[in-house]
Amino acid sequence: MVGGISDYSFGLASGLSANQHDVIVLAIFAKAVKNKIERPTLNFRVIEIFVSSALPIRIAQIIWAAHRILAQNKVHQVISTIWFPCGLTAFLLKPFYRFKHLPCLHGADVLRASLKFKAKPLIRRIAQKADAVMVNSRFTKSMVMSLLSLPPKLVQVVNPGLNPQKYQSPNLSQPLETAQIHELEKLCLNKIVLLTVARFTPSKGHAQMISALPVLCAKHPQLIYLIVGSSPPMISTKPALVQQIESLNLTQVVHIFDDVSTHFIQHALELCSVFVMLSQEVPEDGYCEGFGIVFLEAGFFAKPVIGSRSGGVPDAIVDGQSGFLVDPENQAEVIAKVNLLVQNPGLAAEMGAFGRKRVHDHFFWEKIVAGHGELFK
């Protein structure tokens, strides 16, 4: 798997291994990416499988691979970091191998499943038969209990964390990446830089931030807004955002970087003045922010953050200390909080320092696993 779930799985496995657990990861990839996978040095075992695009065959391949691991190893606990098809696989195999099953639910996955006639009873059954259900925030716990009819004791909040290894500076061996980094540095020189790192979907609030820029730029002519993200298939909002930027004459203010490297994103976080993501819940379309790990990444780089008073974001931001929570539909409130941070660099630095300390003290995976020792026993 790639993307956020891949980072989550890698971080959790690293944290478990650092706490003296013997970890085997079943890593599932599409055949199309077989020659594109980066394989860093790891402190746990990884078994890779490359699966078919046909769903029934893919599920059968995953079940067979999991069966072989369970048959050849003494496995006490299975953590499925995505409910389908991994949680389904563990659910089907548990009666034969008697392991402890911990499915992980992230928010939007539950919301989307609840909108589908066949998926909702399946995810409910998997969760109800689990030994514990791991969720990423208090918001997700409340949603899971309501939509899946689960008792509070079954649902355990384990806020996701960061893996420090991810932030070790690599050598820039790719000429294209080096050129992009230099372009970014030149763009940010002597500027007030607002940054959003998020996929181009309706729930991420890019349009709301762009709408606030004419007022902000009138007060701060040196302000620019960087949008770093990726375009999901079929539902990308990037074309609409480009049109909005042009209609507001903001082409010299807003700069979009699509499908860039992890190192590029980290460099953008280092260079920004304020990180902002005005995510929103769109329940009818299955969108919500279950937590907001990117706010912790901004904190790692000591940046003040502005996020929505929505979904699981209040678990990621300490309002008034690591940044501010706002109503994403209240443009005046958004503008006021950006102004406050831009006009008070001391406050911005103080909030950034608080966010960085909070990440170091509480949000590295090794410490998160250690703090939930009973769950992973």
With both helix axes pointing from N to C terminus, report the angle between 293-300 and 262-271 in degrees, rounded to the nearest 10: 60
| Domains of the chain, start order | 4-158 (3.40.50.2000), 172-362 (3.40.50.2000)
Q: What is the pLDDT of residue 286?
A: 83
Does the pLDDT of residue 37 top 60, yes or no? no
Confidence of residue 294 (pLDDT cuts 50, 70, 90): very high
Does the pLDDT of residue 311 top 70, yes or no? yes
User: What is the pTM (predicted TM-score) of this model?
Assistant: 0.93
Q: Which structure tokens are listed for 135? A: 């969720």
At 181, give phi and psi (nearest 5°). -65, -45
More confident residue, 181 or 192: 192
The span from the CA of 57 to the CA of 62, in Å, is 9
**CB-neighbour burial class of residue 233 (10 A; exposed 0-12, middle 13-18, buried 19+):** exposed
Cα 56 from chain centre:
28
Residue type, 140: T
What average pLDDT does the chain have?
92
Give the strands of the sheet with 223-229, arranged side by side: 254-258, 223-229, 192-197, 274-277, 305-308, 323-326
Does the pLDDT of residue 172 top 60, yes or no? no
Give the strands of the sheet with 133-135, arranged side by side: 77-80, 100-105, 133-135, 155-157
The span from the CA of 360 to the CA of 344, in Å, is 25
